[in-house]
Amino acid sequence: MLKTVSSIVNALGALNYKGTWNASINNPALASGAGTKGDYYVVSVAGTTTLDGISNWGVGDWATYNGSVWQRVEGGADLNGVNLSVSGTTTLSGLTASTDLALDAGKNVVSVGNPTFSAYGNAAQTLTAGVYTKAILNAKDYDTASCFDSTTNYRFTPTVAGYYQLNLKLSVASTTSITTYIADFRKNGSGATNGRAIQQNGSFGTFALFNANNIMYFDGVGDYCEIWVYLDGVGTLTISSNDKNTTFFQGSMIRRA
């Protein structure tokens, strides 16, 4: 438990400085429930030695004995608290972190990144004309939060709630002319209401290159997105592969919920 100097003095009366204490190697050796009331040490080396349930010792902290247990007085230049509770409106400035910070459902500050990925197929995928087929994107260029499944379901399931920019590019080859192509961003198995690229009644020859973009909300728990493709034509229809510039599915968070 973090204590203030005034609360310790009020509880113990006179304090007796015993010197410095290395909390990393417990030198001099201190033991839980053992000491002389009023004795205190100043931590010279931070460490995790456990004294009466306290193990987060920072440089400058005081280890004080109240006659029954050791207590910690925050004394370092940096706050070394655990389970800090803040009420009311609080403004934080000058934060430095290797990853982003956000609030979870319980309003706890957690460290998160912005899930970002780019997936593609490492082998050509043959399609059946006239039916919807899921795009098999079984390779990844990058996946910062390991949210894209490239081995089983070929889907993006972000673990951070928010709004995501999704981008798709597909190159399709056919033995005959392609007259219709559709690409759906399917959220949780649903189709066109979640974004679609469509061209109909055209004549695209034996090769078509099309793009789709969408912004989609994910709850960070189980929402996912897959790419499903529909093509008209006769003969073999093939999604090109191993070209990350012409066939890919990408996404990145643009705003947290």
Residue-level pLDDT at 170: 83
DSSP codes, the chain: -EE-HHHHHHHHSS-EEEEEEETTTTBS--BTTBS-TTEEEEEEE-B---BTTB--B-TT-EEEE-SSSEEEE--SSS---SS----S-----S---SSEEEE-TTS-EEEE---EEEEE-SS-EEE-TTS-EE----EEEEETTS-EETTTT-EE--SS-EEEEEEEEEEEEESS----EEEEEEETT--GGG-EEEE-S---TTEEEEEEEEEEEE-SSS--EEEEEEE--SS-EEE--S-TTTSEEEEEEEEE-
Verify that 124 and 237 share a domain, yes or no: yes
Do the domain assignments include residue 215?
yes
Q: Which of 15, 43, 73 is the last residue of a domain?
A: 73
The per-residue pLDDT for range 78-124, each reduced to its tens digit, is 666 666 666 666 666 665 555 566 666 666 665 567 899 999 988 88
Which domain range does residue 53 map to?
2-73
Verify that 68 and 120 share a domain, yes or no: no
Q: Say which CATH number the domain at 149 has.
A: 2.60.120.40
The per-residue pLDDT for range 177-195, each reduced to its tens digit, is 777 778 899 999 987 666 7
pLDDT < 70: residue spans in the chain: 1-13, 76-112, 192-194, 199-205, 233-237, 241-243
Put simply, whether the predicted model's pTM sits higher than 0.85 gets the answer no
Residue-level pLDDT at 54: 92
Residue-level pLDDT at 107: 65
